[in-house]
Amino acid sequence: MKIENYYDRIDQYHAGELSDSDSKSFEQELNNNEELRRAEELYRLSLQVLDFGAEENLRKDLKKWNSESSSVSTGGRIVSLRHRSLQILSAAAAVLLLIFAVRSFLMPQASTDELFASYYKTPSQTGWRGNADAQNALTSAKKALAEESYADAVDGFSEIAQTDPLYVEAQYYLGHALVGLNNLNAAKKAFETVANSEDKFQEKGEWNYLLVCMKTKQWNVECEAKLKNIAADEGYSFYPEAKELLKKMK
Amino acid sequence: MNAITYTNESLVAAIKKGGSVRQIAIRWLYDDKELQQRVVSFVKNNRGNQEDGTDMFHEGIIVLDRNIREDKFRGEAPVKGYLYSICRFLWMNQMRKQERISLVDPIKPAQEEPDFETPEVAFRSEERKGLLSHLLDQLGDQCRKVLEMWKLSYSMAEIADTLQLSSEANARKIKYRCHMALMEYLDKNPRMLEQLKDVL
pLDDT in tens, B63-99: 999 999 989 988 888 999 999 999 999 998 888 876 6
Predicted local distance difference test score (pLDDT) of residue B88: 93
Contact assessment for residue A169 and residue A197, using Cβ atoms and an 8 Å cutoff: no
B192 touching A (Cβ < 8 Å): no
Note whether A224 and A130 are same-domain residues.
yes
| B116 has pLDDT over 50 | no
Q: Which of B63, B74, B60, B66 is nearest to B16 (CA)?
A: B66
The answer to whether A45 contacts B196, with C-beta atoms less than 8 Å apart, is yes
The answer to whether B200 contacts A48, with C-beta atoms less than 8 Å apart, is yes
Chain B residue numbers with beta carbons less than 8 Å from the beta carbon of A63 are 58
Predicted local distance difference test score (pLDDT) of residue B136: 93
Q: Which of B44, B103, B184, B111 is nearest to A43 (CA)?
A: B184
pLDDT in tens, B130-147: 899 999 999 889 999 999
Predicted local distance difference test score (pLDDT) of residue A156: 87
User: What mean pLDDT do residues A27-45 have?
Assistant: 94
Dist. CA B143–CA B177, nearest whole Å: 8
Chain A residue numbers with beta carbons less than 8 Å from the beta carbon of B186 are 42, 45-46
Contact assessment for residue A119 and residue A245, using Cβ atoms and an 8 Å cutoff: yes
Confirm whether A103 is domain-assigned: no
User: Considering only alpha carbons, which residue of chain B is nearest residue A152?
Assistant: B41
Note whether A236 and A172 are same-domain residues.
yes
Predicted local distance difference test score (pLDDT) of residue B121: 41
Note whether A138 and A233 are same-domain residues.
yes
Report which of residues A165 and B80 the model is more confident about. Answer: B80
Give the count of Cβ contacts less than 8 A between chain A and B: 109
Predicted local distance difference test score (pLDDT) of residue A98: 45
**pLDDT over 90 percentage in chain B:** 68
The answer to whether A42 contacts B183, with C-beta atoms less than 8 Å apart, is yes
Contact assessment for residue A187 and residue A175, using Cβ atoms and an 8 Å cutoff: yes
Dist. CA B82–CA B67, nearest whole Å: 11
The answer to whether B193 contacts A45, with C-beta atoms less than 8 Å apart, is yes
Class of domain B8-121: mainly alpha
Query: Which domain range does residue A138 map to?
Result: 117-249
Domain limits, chain B: 8-121, 126-199
Dist. CA A153–CA B181, nearest whole Å: 54
Predicted local distance difference test score (pLDDT) of residue B123: 45
Residue A189's alpha-carbon distances to A33, A138, A148, A165, in angstroms, are: 71, 19, 21, 19
A70 touching B (Cβ < 8 Å): no
Residue A226 sits in a domain of what CATH number?
1.25.40.10
What distance in Å separates residue B181's CA from the closest CA in chain A?
A: 10
Fold designation for B126-199: Arc Repressor Mutant, subunit A (1.10.10)
Answer yes or no: is the ipTM higher than 0.85: no
Report which of residues B126 and B103 the model is more confident about. Answer: B126
| A120 has pLDDT over 90 | no
**pLDDT over 90 percentage in chain A:** 26
Note whether A24 and A124 are same-domain residues.
no
Query: Domains in chain A: how many in total?
Result: 2
Dist. CA B57–CA B75, nearest whole Å: 20
pLDDT tier for residue B3 given thresholds of 50, 70 and 90: low
pLDDT in tens, B171-192: 999 999 999 999 999 999 999 9
DSSP state of A201: T
What distance in Å separates residue A234's CA from the closest CA in chain B?
A: 31
Note whether A50 and A121 are same-domain residues.
no
Please list, in sequence order, all residues whose beta carbon lies within 8 angstroms of the beta carbon of residue A36, skipping any fewer than 6 positions away: A6, A10, A29, A30
Ranges A73-77, A144-148, A159-163: which has the least confidence: A73-77
Dist. CA A116–CA A111, nearest whole Å: 9
Of residues A47, A58, A151, nearest to B65 (C-beta): A58
Confirm whether A162 is domain-assigned: yes
* Count of residues in chain A: 250
pLDDT tier for residue A177 given thresholds of 50, 70 and 90: confident
- Please state the pTM of the whole predicted model: 0.55
